[in-house]
Amino acid sequence: MKLMSNQSVFTLPEGARLAPDDFHRAARLLLQKTGIVLPPHKKEMAELRLSAQATRVGMDAIGQFLDMLEQDANSPHWADFISTFTINHTAFFRELHHFEVLAQFARTRPKPLHVWSCACSTGEEAYSIAMTLRETTREAGVSILATDIDSQAVHQAEQGIYRHDRLASVPPAYLQKYFQRGIGPREGLTRVKPVLCEMIDFQVLNLLSPSWPKTRFDAIFCRNAMIYFDKSTQARLLERFARVLKPGGLLFVGHSENFTHLTTAFRLKGKTVYVVI
C-alpha cells in the first residue's frame, strides 16, 4: 500500500498491512478490553500504528502482534495497544458551565467532598475540578480521584506540566495562583503548583473493570468517553455510576452525550448534568 503525505511517499511491507480479518480482530479485542467501538474509517490509522507497534516488539506482522495480545490478557503491550485507540482530546475548564454547577453544588454539600474524574485523560479536567473546589470550599475536606484507562495519559496528568498554549482557557487569576511558568530549558512550559496536585489521586483504571473504587462520590465527571462506547456498555456504566454516587450526587457528561433514554437511575438536572434518583 502506498501512503502519500506532503513530505514523502512510502510503502508498508506486506506483513505490516492489516488484513480485513485482523482489522475485525483488533476491533473485537479493543471492544472487549475497553468498550471502545472502532469504526471502519479508522482502518488506515490502525494499520499504521499497529504495524509500528509490531515492529517495536520485533514482529513482522500485525497478525502476530494481535495473537500475542489475544493469548496473554496481562501482556504489557496491551497498554500501547489501548493508547493507540484512545482519543485524549481535553482542555482546562472545558464546558465551563459544569464548573459553575460544581461550585454551587459544593457549597451545599456536607464535607468531605469526593469527586471522581473517571476518564481524566491528561489531567486538565481534574485540575479544573481542583481549582473550582479550592476556590469554593476554602477548606480541607475535598478529595479528587482521577482515573483513565490510558496509562500514558495518566502519567502526563500526574506530571502536571503543560505547554503555555494549553492554558488559554484558564482564568488569569488562577494562572497566577495555581501555575508556575518554566524558565531556561523549561521555557514554554507551565507546571501545576503542588497545592492542586496534592488534592488529586491519579490512577490507571479501566471503567470496564469489575473492581471500582470503594468510595461513595458526591460527583462524577464522565465526559466525552462514553460517546465511544456502545449503548449496552453505556447503560451498564450508568447503573454502576448510580451505585457509587451518594444520594443527590451529580453525574457530569459531555456536551454531545444524552443518556436520558438509557437509564432510570438518573434525572436530567440541567444541561448535561444528571442527578442520581
Ligand X SMILES: C[S@@+](CC[C@H](N)C(=O)[O-])C[C@H]1O[C@@H](n2cnc3c(N)ncnc32)[C@H](O)[C@@H]1O
Positions marked active-site: 49, 148
Residue closer to ligand X (CB basis): 128 or 263? 128
Which grid cell is 76?
A: 504489557
Which of 130, 207, 238, 242: binder of ligand X (CB under 6 A)?
A: 207
Which of 45, 52, 57, 87: binder of ligand X (CB under 6 A)?
A: 87
Contact positions with ligand X (CB under 6 A) in 148-167: 148-150, 153
| Cα–Cα distance, 253 to 268 (Å, whole number) | 11
Q: Does 145 bind ligand X (CB under 6 A)?
A: no
Shortest separation between residue 13's beta carbon and ligand X, angstroms: 30
Residue closer to ligand X (CB basis): 16 or 233? 233
Q: Per CB under 6 A, which region of 50-58, 97-105, 142-150, 160-168 contacts ligand X? A: 142-150
| Cα–Cα distance, 111 to 137 (Å, whole number) | 9
| Cα–Cα distance, 252 to 126 (Å, whole number) | 13
| Cα–Cα distance, 27 to 23 (Å, whole number) | 6
Residue closer to ligand X (CB basis): 16 or 148? 148
Residue closer to ligand X (CB basis): 51 or 128? 128
Distances (CA, A) of 189 to 6, 77, 90, 131, 185: 30, 30, 17, 19, 9
Which of 75, 137, 159, 206: binder of ligand X (CB under 6 A)?
A: 206
Which of 26, 36, 62, 101: binder of ligand X (CB under 6 A)?
A: 36
| Cα–Cα distance, 240 to 247 (Å, whole number) | 14
- Helices and strands: H and E segment counts in the chain: 10, 12
Shortest separation between residue 98's beta carbon and ligand X, angstroms: 9
Shortest separation between residue 214's beta carbon and ligand X, angstroms: 18
Q: Does 88 bind ligand X (CB under 6 A)?
A: yes
Q: Does 34 bind ligand X (CB under 6 A)?
A: yes
| Cα–Cα distance, 202 to 139 (Å, whole number) | 21
Q: Per CB under 6 A, which region of 5-13, 62-70, 166-174, 205-213 contacts ligand X? A: 205-213
Q: Does 245 bind ligand X (CB under 6 A)?
A: no
Shortest separation between residue 65's beta carbon and ligand X, angstroms: 20
Determine contact, residues 218/188, Cβ cutoff 8 Å: no
List strands edge to edge, sheet with 161-163.
161-163, 189-192, 179-181
- Dihedral angle, C-alpha 184, 202, 113, 196, nearest 10 °: -10
Site of interaction with ligand X (CB under 6 A): 34-36, 86-90, 94, 119, 121, 125, 148-150, 153, 206-208, 223-225, 254
